[in-house]
Amino acid sequence: MPVSVDFLFESIMLTLWDETRELPLTRLQAINKKMSILRTQDRKVYFDFKFYELQAMKYHPVSKDEVTEASILSVTAFSEHQSVSMMSNRRFLIRPGLNLEYVPFQDEKDAAFGKEEEERISGKAAPYSENLTIKVSVIEGRKTVNVDMKDLKVMIYLEEMMRIFDFIIYVPEPLLEEDREAQIKMGEVVEYREPTSLVFTVMANDSYFCIPSGTEYAIILKCKKRYTC
Amino acid sequence: MIEKKLEELYTYKLTMQRTEMMVASEKDFTSSLPLAELTKRILVHPFNLSFSLKTEIYRDQASSKMALFRKDNIFIDQVAIRIASRDLILLLESNFYLKQNLVSYKKLVPFTDVESDYKSKLNQRKQLRDDYFARWKIEQMGHDVNMIALGIQLVNFFNL
């Protein structure tokens, strides 16, 4: 039976926790998100995600239960003539139950910056546009992922990215078993560990990738039109 | 007899159009300063690069033969590199900084160590994966590399 579902969200925040260090690993924040899922009668599955803005943050401990935040990835509506600051410096207290509690700025200048940040995050600062679209299709085990981004600013903290990747590929075995059982129930049994095809394409328009050097200056790669992998 | 059907195992593609490498202040980059107004030194002038790595397989269930074919295509446009001695130092410093960070990353506790039960199950899964590939006689039958480079210009500046 074909299934089609559409969702519309104002803002979504996803925090990944590094339980080995009792710290937030990263926080992904998507604004004005549209999500569509379509499953056809012949079991072709399509996912379509559209965002107005996407931010990824990293965290540094400043005390036992307090962290500061810094942006590592930013996809926004702003062009290279209207850039967005990646210096957040917002502080959070780590509360029981792995909750982050925002600590308001004390300084007036920081408070003004914080207000500007909140307005931007709430999506009030600019009209809606689709700055990030992700299309995923699964057809007979063949997966195709297309990511299209506009005005991307990235700080390449390699160690942070590798840790996030470790987090993503680490799936507890019980979840894998549950997924396999669900597949069997749906009659989609495939040979165990059968190699499948994956085509992953990223297109980033007017994008800047900064490689930190630990000094005042950094190496920056600028791609004007298209970046695919 | 190997099956006639050719299956695409995986493909990696990298296309970078009008890419340039520059040096600029990290603080300016992370601030709200418009990126078009960055004070910068261009190291590599805009160039185009495309790279694709495609691996295809033939599988014969009867004889458990898996034949791998690889096709690599590389295209590099004309590249003009202008590099000063201080940029060379910056490149070395970036490299050193990355290595330092990778050392600290490798010291982190792996996620798989959090729950010992999961760790043992993941090892079992790895064994199953190895068993799957062990029953195939994998043989690489071809590797084509096509590379087109349209020229390179290197200019080095020394501060005297």
In tens, the pLDDT along A3-51 reads 888 888 778 888 888 888 888 899 888 887 788 888 888 778 888 888 8
Q: How far apart are the first and last CA of chain A?
A: 34
Q: What is the pLDDT of residues B2-50, one digit of tens each?
A: 445 777 777 788 888 888 999 999 999 888 888 878 889 999 998 888 8
Within chain A, which residues score under 70 in pLDDT?
A: 77-83, 88, 107-129, 172-181, 183-197, 225-229
The answer to whether the CB atoms of B16 and A227 lie below 8 A apart is: yes
Of A154-158, B77-81, B112-116, the range with the lowest mean pLDDT is: B112-116
A228 assigned to some structural domain: no
A211 assigned to some structural domain: yes
A165 assigned to some structural domain: yes
Put simply, the chain A residues between 186 and 215 with a CB less than 8 A from any chain B CB are 192-193, 195, 197-199, 201, 208, 210-215
What's the pLDDT score for residue A228? 47
**Chain B hits for A193, Cβ within 8 Å:** 128-129, 132-133
The size of chain A, in residues, is: 229
Q: Which of B35, B91, B93 sits opposite A208 (nearest CB)?
A: B35
Q: Which of A86, A195, A229 sits opposite B9 (nearest CB)?
A: A195
Q: Nearest CA of chain B to the CA of A106: how many Å?
A: 21
A7 assigned to some structural domain: yes
A229 assigned to some structural domain: no
**Chain A hits for B133, Cβ within 8 Å:** 193
Q: Nearest CA of chain A to the CA of B50: how many Å?
A: 9
Q: Is the pLDDT of residue B62 over 50?
A: yes
Calpha distance B123→A173 (Å, rounded) = 10
What's the pLDDT score for residue B22? 93
Calpha distance B100→B20 (Å, rounded) = 26
Residue B31 burial by CB count (10 A; 0-12/13-18/19+): exposed, middle or buried? middle
Residue A29's nearest CA partner among A147, A99, A123, A155 is: A123
Mean pLDDT over all residues of chain B?
A: 82
Tokens of residue A148, six digits: 């299209």
Calpha distance A54→A26 (Å, rounded) = 13
Put simply, the chain A residues between 86 and 145 with a CB less than 8 A from any chain B CB are 86-87
Query: Which amino acid is it at A71?
Result: S
Q: Nearest CA of chain B to the CA of A183: how many Å?
A: 18
Other Cβ atoms within 10 Å of B37 Cβ, number? 11
What's the pLDDT score for residue A219? 92
Q: Nearest CA of chain B to the CA of A225: how many Å?
A: 6
Count of structural domains within chain A? 1
What's the pLDDT score for residue B116? 59
- The more confidently predicted of residues B80 and B118 is B80
What's the pLDDT score for residue A188? 53
Interface predicted TM-score of the whole assembly (ipTM), two decimals: 0.72
Least CA distance to A83: which residue of chain B? B34
What's the pLDDT score for residue B160? 55
**Model-level pTM?**
0.74
Residue B19: strand pairing partners: A223, B47
What's the pLDDT score for residue A192? 44
A56 assigned to some structural domain: yes
The domain containing residue A193 runs over which residues? 3-223
What's the pLDDT score for residue A89? 72
Put simply, the chain B residues between 39 and 58 with a CB less than 8 A from any chain A CB are 40, 43, 46, 57
What's the pLDDT score for residue B25? 93
Distances (CA, A) of A124 to A31, A34, A150, A220, B65: 11, 17, 19, 30, 60
Pairing type for strands A217-223 and B7-25 reads: antiparallel
The answer to whether the CB atoms of A219 and B112 lie below 8 A apart is: no
Tokens of residue A109, six digits: 């200048």
Concatenate the DSSP letters of all residues of B25-89 into one string: EHHHHHSSS-GGG--EEEEEEEEEEEEEEEEEEEEETTTTEEEEEEEEEEEE--EEEEEEHHHHH
The answer to whether the CB atoms of A158 and B16 lie below 8 A apart is: no
Q: What is the pLDDT of residues B128-141, one digit of tens each?
A: 777 777 777 888 88
What's the pLDDT score for residue A218? 92
